[in-house]
Amino acid sequence: MLATNRTKEKLKAGKAVFGFRMDFASSYIVEALGNTGFDFVYFDLEHGLINEESCLEMVRAAESVNLTPLVRVASGSPEAASRLLDSGVMGIITPHCNTRQDVQAAVKAVKYPPEGERGIAGRSLSLSGMPAADYVREANKETLVIAMIEEPEALSNLPAILTVDGLDVLFIGRLDFSLASGIPGQIDAPSIQSAVTEIITGGRGAGKAVGVGAINIDDPDSISHFIKQGAQFFALNTTSVLKSAARDLLKRVKAD
């Protein structure tokens, strides 16, 4: 049987989900952090130095601890998404989704016909033990389509983007949004805050889940703030998580 996408299930129920971003290969860290209560892990193949073989090993590690494995691809290429989905990935994060056509292409790359154009083969199908027709139906139901909203152009096209069937999550990349806005790194600038609010409000109104990136893990109140606004999808940087945990541990030890 195909595994239930618990992250998608929670999002549909209106709950917030929390994951961590891996931009380097380590199945061990995936297993270790997976046992702490995270919902998903996403492997960053756009910015990280992860190859497909390493990604598959981390997918297996995620499966072993009931984490939903997601991948941020380097581009909207259908071939890139297909190979990863065939390996067992349960959702694709597509960067730079600035137009309705960009998001439609992302959906087509993730879904089998009639919803998309993905071809059928690979580990996920083989291990499911399901007839092809049943597998296609279940895979289309369980996979997540996540569009990165990270440039002002996407905000201008937001009403059209929100009409795309099959889009599950709008994931706001605040750092890239600030870069494209000419104020790199100023994610708390009024213009960025206004854009985030507009995207969250629009997304929730259209029945789409919304995520916010570039979260400062030393400021958990910021997550609470976005949850109150209606955001549901949060991914923390793994390096920051490890540094924060180590710093807190050393602080407690040295205080004794």
CA–CA separation, 226 vs 228, rounded Å? 5
Would you call the peptide bond into 220 cis, given omega within 30 degrees of 0 as the criterion?
A: no
Tokens of 209: 């889940």
Q: What is the DSSP string of 26-52?
A: -HHHHHHHHTTT-SEEEEETTTS---H
Given the residues 47, 141, 225, 247, the one annotated as active site: 47
Q: For residue 47, indicate whether it is catalytic.
A: yes
CA 30 from chain center: how many Å?
A: 15
CA-CA distances (angstroms) from residue 52 to 59, 85, 222?
10, 11, 34
Gap between the terminal Cα atoms of the chain: 51
CB-based contacts of 235-240 (< 8 A; 24+ apart in sequence) = 235/18, 235/19, 235/20, 235/21, 235/40, 235/42, 235/171, 235/211, 236/18, 236/19, 236/20, 236/21, 237/20, 237/21, 238/20, 238/21, 238/22, 238/23, 238/24, 238/29, 238/33, 239/23
Active-site positions? Answer: 47
